[in-house]
Amino acid sequence: MLNDGRLLFASELKSLLLSPQLDRRLDPQAIEEFFAYGYIPDTRSIYLGGRKLAPAHCLLVRRGGPVPEPRPYWDVRFVDGTAARRQEVEEELIARLRVSVRMRMIADVPLGAFLSGGVDSSGVVALMAGLKPDPVSTFSIAFGTKGWDESRYATAIAARYHTEHHVKEVDPNSFDLLERLATIYDEPFGDSSAMPTFRVCAMARENVTVALSGDGGDEVFAGYRR
């Protein structure tokens, strides 16, 4: 919200920067949170004049009305309310994942998958292979650095499910993408996988238009120790 009462909104922060009225002063609290978390949590942005709309929230703006306040329209409840046995839960989990993957395979363009060799992306590829008559196109990044390179796990999964596998080796000491990534993310973002993710996306785009990934698996299944 600008000082004159106008509301600017966009899907990317760079679009808001087209307005000379936006307060471009850096938010000190946002900077502190970036160093704590590696990113800037909602609702802050790096600029004092910009705010993020949190996930599963909406904002209703009425002309002449009060300053709008975001309100949640959905939330997830973590309640253990099932009496099902473990085997039943495991079977239902696989069934639901299969339905989820099948829904996201509906496309009228070439489709593939990112494959890191981890549990999440490997699970997605395994389900895709069971739902697709033709080999799944999979894409991986290799680093050539012991301790960081997981391409051998991806290769093993690709071999097991007979995918059409593509691998690109990246120099871990190459930082030529930093400036470009800064323009993509719009504000400080400390994810060390940003560069390999960009490169695997670029490689995939040479072969397919849509690619499924396992992003979100760690969050859903409590995969982070922290």
Measuring CA to CA, how many Å separate 74 from each of 54, 57, 215? 11, 7, 21
The pLDDT of residue 147: 65
> What distance in Å separates the CA atoms of residue 68 and residue 93, rounded to the nearest whole number?
40
> What distance in Å separates the CA atoms of residue 123 and residue 119, rounded to the nearest whole number?
6
Residues across the chain: 226
The pLDDT of residue 68: 83
- pLDDT of 64 higher than 90: no
Check: CB of residue 187 under 8 Å from CB of residue 12.
no
> What distance in Å separates the CA atoms of residue 11 and residue 45, rounded to the nearest whole number?
13
Q: Which residue ranges form the domains of the chain, and what is each CATH number?
A: 1-75 (no CATH), 108-220 (3.40.50.620)
DSSP, residue by residue, 72-107: ES------------HHHHHHHHHHHHHHHHHHHT--
Check: CB of residue 198 under 8 Å from CB of residue 185.
no
pLDDT tens, 107-162? 999 999 999 888 899 999 999 999 999 999 999 988 866 666 788 899 999 999 99
pLDDT tens, 95-106? 999 999 999 999
pLDDT tens, 174-226? 778 888 888 889 999 988 788 888 999 999 999 999 999 988 888 888 777 76
- pLDDT of 171 higher than 80: no
The pLDDT of residue 66: 82
pLDDT tens, 6-57? 889 999 999 999 999 999 999 999 999 999 999 999 999 999 999 999 999 9
pLDDT tens, 70-79? 999 999 887 7
The pLDDT of residue 148: 67
Q: What is the pTM of this model?
A: 0.81
The pLDDT of residue 81: 73
The pLDDT of residue 165: 95
The pLDDT of residue 162: 95
